[in-house]
Structure formats: structure tokens, C-alpha cells
């Protein structure tokens, strides 16, 4: 009788002890795990689009719009006696089960949202403030600027045989000299970027953004030389303390700097054309070999994407396409930084559009 009371007491304690809140204990862990999963998924999607563009395949975006993670905790206990034994002995059992049922909702980016995300040039007033937050301005401009004034950052994937005269000067060397100098000035604290919001005239309530570029004086002789060269490349008039950066091409108006910014499709295409492809893929006609010359070389390749038949070890991001693994090395800081900036630009290019088709995937464990 004493043993029976002990079994009943233990069973009751376990049953009552199982009535507790699961959500509060899982919140932090789920937030971390799902956040990492979404980030890694977005990285793979971007690399997948880069490789697809390299093969002249169609890029696409699938945004995660909703995540619902549900839990179900089931528990049971029973207690009885075996009447066919002598002496009579109690028996029982306790069972508990925790089930997780996450549901993911995805929305393909199509129609107007696709046009805005991929085809609309990124405005300079949205680009340059990223350098205010500490992003390297040379990598930012190498990715996003087609030209600065008359200095061209020519897109390598647009150069085909016979398209351009090799004797023509497109000032590409000056472009890379300029962004290198801007980076040195940024690191030295001599480069200023100011974002200014000004209301529209005629009673309109919305605001327009204006971005201004300043180059501060210095007593350092080495930096002073860089400052003078940079101002000369930008046609920085001594009449102005700062220059407004506007969207445009060619020689700017007094007091302005023209930046012909790229669309996201152009940015991804520039990176994609620099990806090395296996020789058997080139010989099969699946894609073309990248052009040689001053427009693209290993020194100016901004992201180094590797390929192999074997699964890469500890990559920063990797995908599989056409039976080959493509990845970015985790130890390649320059490539990781440029890839991360391209991810930020991709998020910057997205706009809120009406919902189209939605894909909801319940996952049972």
C-alpha cells in the first residue's frame, strides 16, 4: 500500500510539473536560429542569382514574409494494478512529447516589385549615406557606380568583341584612382558626406533627399597631395565648400558631381561576369569566357567565387549549380565584404509593393 501511494504521488507530480509555458523558454533560441537561417538563405539566393546570370539564366527573388512557429506539448500517465499476479503489484507509465510545427510564407518578387528591385537605378542620395555608416566607399562605388562625371567604371559583361575601340579612352584608370583616394580620405576622416532633407515646393508634403560631398583641409603633406588630386578629378571648385552629388552622366554643372548609378541587375551582372567557370562548361557552350583586357582582370575582380566538384569545407556561402559547387571562401575577407555590401544594396533596392502570389509551406517534424 505504501508503494502504491508513492507511485501515485510521483505520477501526479510529473503531470502537474508538465504544465508550464514553452514559448517564453524557446523565444530567444528560436529568434537566434531562425534569424541565422533566413540570413544564410538570403546569402545562398544571392549567390545562386549571380551564378545563374553568369550562365545567362533567369534570376529571381523569393522573400520570406512570415514565419510562424507552433509548439504542442503532449503528456500522459497511467497507473494500475495487475490483478493476475500474486501478490498484487502496481504498474504504470508516464509519456511526454514535444512537437514543433513551423510554417513559412514566401512571396515571389514579380511585376512592379521586380522592376523596382532589379531595374531601377539606386539613387545617389540612398547610396552615399551607407559610407557615412562606415562601409568602404571604394567598394561601394565600384559596385554601384557606372560612372562618376566622365570617369567610367565600364560594365565588363557589356563588352563584346567589336563593341568598343581599344584606342578610346574611357578614363577607367582615373575612376579607380578616384575611388582609391576617396577611401584614403574616408579612413583619415577628411571625407564628409551630408544628407539633407528639403520639403518640396508648392505645398507638397513629401520630402526630397540631397546628398553633399565635402573634402576637409589637412596639414599632412601626403594627405594634402591626395586631397588636391581628388578635387581635380571631381572638378571640385574652390568656390564651393561642398558639392552636391546628383544622378547624371558626363561633365557636371558647377557645384555638382554626377554619378550614374547602376540598377541591382547591373550590379549583380558586373559581379557575375567576373566568376570563373569550369573549362568543360565553357566548351559545352553553356556560357562564354570573360573578356580580357583593361576592363576586367583578377586585380579588379571584386568577389572571388570558386568552383569544385567536391563539397567545399567551411565556406562563407555555397550553392550547387549544374553539378558544380560554387562558393566564397570564409577566409577571403575582401570577397566577403563586397558580397555583404551587395546584399545590403539588394535590400536597399526593395520597395513595398502589393502582394502577389504567396507560397506557404508547413513543416512537420
Task: Give 25: exposed, middle or buried? Use CB within 10 Å, 0-12, 13-18, 19+.
Answer: exposed
Q: Which residues pair with 148 in a beta bridge?
A: 151, 259
Domain assignment present for 250? yes
Domain assignment present for 142? yes
* First vs last C-alpha separation in the chain: 42
311 pLDDT exceeds 80? yes
pLDDT at 80: 63
Contacts of 77 (CB under 8 A, 6+ apart): 11, 14, 15, 92, 93, 94, 95
3-state secondary structure of 318: strand
pLDDT in tens, 192-212: 999 887 765 555 545 568 999
Domain assignment present for 46? no
Question: Which of the two residues, 262 and 161, has the higher pLDDT score?
Answer: 262
Domain assignment present for 1? no
pLDDT in tens, 260-295: 999 998 999 989 988 988 888 887 777 877 654 444
Domain assignment present for 206? yes
In angstroms, the CA 336 to CA 351 distance is: 25
Q: Chain-wide mean pLDDT for the chain? A: 77
Task: Give 121: exposed, middle or buried? Use CB within 10 Å, 0-12, 13-18, 19+.
Answer: middle
pLDDT at 38: 80
Element (H, E) at 95: strand 89-108
In angstroms, the CA 330 to CA 168 distance is: 39
Contacts of 55 (CB under 8 A, 6+ apart): 281, 286, 287, 321, 322
Full residue range of the structural domain in which residue 232 is found: 127-161+169-262
Closest CA to 179 of 57, 300, 17: 300
CB crowding 157-188: b at 16 or more within 10 Å, else e: bebeeeeeeeeeebbbebbbebbebbbbbbee
Question: Which of the two residues, 337 and 238, has the higher pLDDT score?
Answer: 337
Length of the chain: 365
pLDDT at 16: 46
Question: Which of the two residues, 183 and 208, has the higher pLDDT score?
Answer: 183
| β pairing state of 243-247 and 256-261 | parallel
90 pLDDT exceeds 70? no
In this structure, the number of other CB atoms found within 10 A of the CB of residue 341 comes to 21
Give the CA angle between residues 208, 184, 215 to the nearest 5°.
45
22 pLDDT exceeds 60? no
Question: Which of the two residues, 193 and 168, has the higher pLDDT score?
Answer: 193
Question: Which of the two residues, 65 and 3, has the higher pLDDT score?
Answer: 65
pLDDT at 259: 95
Domain assignment present for 337? no
Mean pLDDT of 76-94: 62
9 pLDDT exceeds 90? no
Domain assignment present for 101? no
Q: Count of domains in the chain?
A: 1
Whole-prediction pTM value?
A: 0.73
Closest CA to 148 of 161, 137, 163, 134: 137
Top mean-pLDDT range of 1-5, 22-26, 297-301: 22-26
pLDDT in tens, 222-271: 999 999 999 999 998 888 889 999 999 888 888 999 999 999 989 999 89
pLDDT at 172: 84
Domain assignment present for 141? yes
pLDDT at 186: 95
CA atoms within 13 A on the CB side of 288: 11
Amino acid at each position: 500500500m505504501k508503494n502504491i501511494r508513492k507511485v501515485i504521488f510521483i505520477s501526479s507530480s510529473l503531470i502537474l510539473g508538465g504544465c508550464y509555458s514553452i514559448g517564453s523558454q524557446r523565444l530567444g533560441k528560436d529568434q537566434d536560429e531562425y534569424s541565422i537561417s533566413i540570413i544564410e538563405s538570403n546569402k545562398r539566393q544571392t549567390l545562386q542569382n549571380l551564378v545563374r546570370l553568369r550562365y545567362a539564366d533567369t534570376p529571381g527573388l523569393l522573400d520570406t514574409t512570415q514565419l510562424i512557429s507552433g509548439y504542442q506539448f503532449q503528456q500522459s500517465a497511467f497507473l494500475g494494478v495487475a490483478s493476475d499476479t500474486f501478490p498484487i503489484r502496481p504498474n504504470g507509465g508516464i509519456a511526454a512529447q514535444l512537437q514543433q510545427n513551423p510554417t513559412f510564407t514566401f512571396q515571389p518578387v514579380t511585376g512592379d516589385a521586380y522592376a523596382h528591385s532589379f531595374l531601377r537605378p539606386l539613387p545617389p542620395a540612398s547610396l552615399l549615406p551607407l559610407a557615412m555608416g562606415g562601409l568602404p566607399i571604394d567598394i561601394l562605388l565600384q559596385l554601384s557606380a557606372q560612372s562618376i562625371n566622365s570617369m567610367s567604371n565600364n560594365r565588363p559583361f557589356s563588352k563584346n568583341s567589336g563593341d568598343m575601340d581599344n584606342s578610346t579612352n574611357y578614363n577607367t584608370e582615373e575612376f579607380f584612382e578616384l575611388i582609391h583616394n576617396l577611401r584614403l580620405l574616408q579612413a583619415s576622416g577628411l571625407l564628409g558626406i551630408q544628407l539633407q532633407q528639403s520639403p518640396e515646393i508648392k505645398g507638397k508634403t513629401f520630402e526630397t533627399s540631397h546628398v553633399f560631398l565635402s573634402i576637409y583641409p589637412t596639414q599632412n603633406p601626403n594627405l594634402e597631395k591626395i586631397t588636391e588630386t581628388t578635387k581635380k578629378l571631381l572638378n571640385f571648385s574652390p568656390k564651393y565648400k561642398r558639392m552636391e552629388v546628383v544622378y547624371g552622366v558626363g561633365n557636371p554643372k558647377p557645384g555638382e558631381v554626377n554619378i550614374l548609378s547602376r540598377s541591382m541587375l547591373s550590379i549583380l551582372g558586373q559581379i557575375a561576369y567576373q566568376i570563373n567557370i569550369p573549362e568543360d562548361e565553357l566548351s559545352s557552350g553553356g556560357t562564354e569566357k570573360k573578356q580580357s583586357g583593361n576592363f576586367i582582370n583578377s586585380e579588379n575582380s571584386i568577389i572571388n567565387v570558386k568552383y569544385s566538384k567536391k563539397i567545399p569545407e567551411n565556406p562563407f556561402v555555397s550553392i550547387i549549380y549544374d553539378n558544380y559547387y560554387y562558393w566564397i571562401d570564409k577566409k577571403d575577407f575582401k570577397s566577403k565584404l563586397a558580397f555583404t555590401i551587395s546584399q545590403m544594396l539588394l535590400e536597399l533596392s526593395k520597395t513595398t509593393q502589393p502582394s502577389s502570389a504567396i507560397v506557404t509551406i508547413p513543416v512537420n517534424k
